Amino acid sequence: MIEVQNLTKRYGSHCAVNDISFKVEEGEILGFLGPNGAGKSTTMNILTGYLSASSGTVKINGIDVLDDPNKAKSNIGYLPELPPLYLDMTVREYLDFVYDLKKCTINRRKHIAEICRLMHIEDVYGRLIKNLSKGYRQRVGFAQALIGNPPVLILDEPTVGLDPKQIIEIRTLIKNLGKHHTVILSSHILPEVEAVCDRIVIINEGRIVADNTAANLSAEFSSDHRLLARIAGDEQRVYALLKHVPGIADITTLGERETGVFEYALEPVHGADFRRPLFTTLAKEGFPLLGLKSMEMSLEEIFISLTREKLPEATRKGGKRK
DSSP strand E in the chain: where? 2-11, 14-24, 29-33, 55-60, 63-64, 76-79, 152-156, 182-186, 199-204, 207-212, 227-232, 248-258, 261-268, 289-294
Which of the ranges 68-76, 244-252, 287-295, 307-315 carries the binding residues for other proteins, by CB under 8 A?
68-76
Which of the ranges 16-24, 87-95, 162-170, 262-270 carries the binding residues for other proteins, by CB under 8 A?
87-95
146 sits in which H/E element? helix 134-146
- Is residue 244 within 8 Å of residue 227, measured between CB atoms? no
Count other Cβ atoms within 10 Å, centred on residue 44. Answer: 21
Q: In terms of CB distance, is 82 or 269 closer to other proteins?
A: 82
Residue 82 interacting with other proteins (CB under 8 A): yes
Measured distance CA(85)–CA(93) in Å, rounded: 11
Residue 42 interacting with other proteins (CB under 8 A): no
The site for other proteins, by CB under 8 A, has a size of 27
What crossing angle do the helices spanning 164-177 and 134-146 adopt, rounded to 10°? 10
Measured distance CA(156)–CA(45) in Å, rounded: 10
Which of the ranges 89-97, 231-239, 243-251, 266-274 carries the binding residues for other proteins, by CB under 8 A?
89-97
Residue 102 interacting with other proteins (CB under 8 A): yes
Dihedral of alpha carbons 213, 63, 70, 49, sign: positive
Q: Find the binder of other proteins among 27, 35, 49, 268 (CB under 8 A).
A: 49
Q: In terms of CB distance, is 39 or 148 closer to other proteins?
A: 148
Residue 76 interacting with other proteins (CB under 8 A): yes
Q: Find the binder of other proteins among 16, 53, 58, 78 (CB under 8 A).
A: 78
Residue 161 interacting with other proteins (CB under 8 A): no
Residue 1 interacting with other proteins (CB under 8 A): no
Residue 63 interacting with other proteins (CB under 8 A): no
Interface contacts to other proteins, rule CB under 8 A? 45, 48-50, 69-71, 73-74, 76, 78, 80, 82, 84-89, 93, 97-98, 100-103, 144
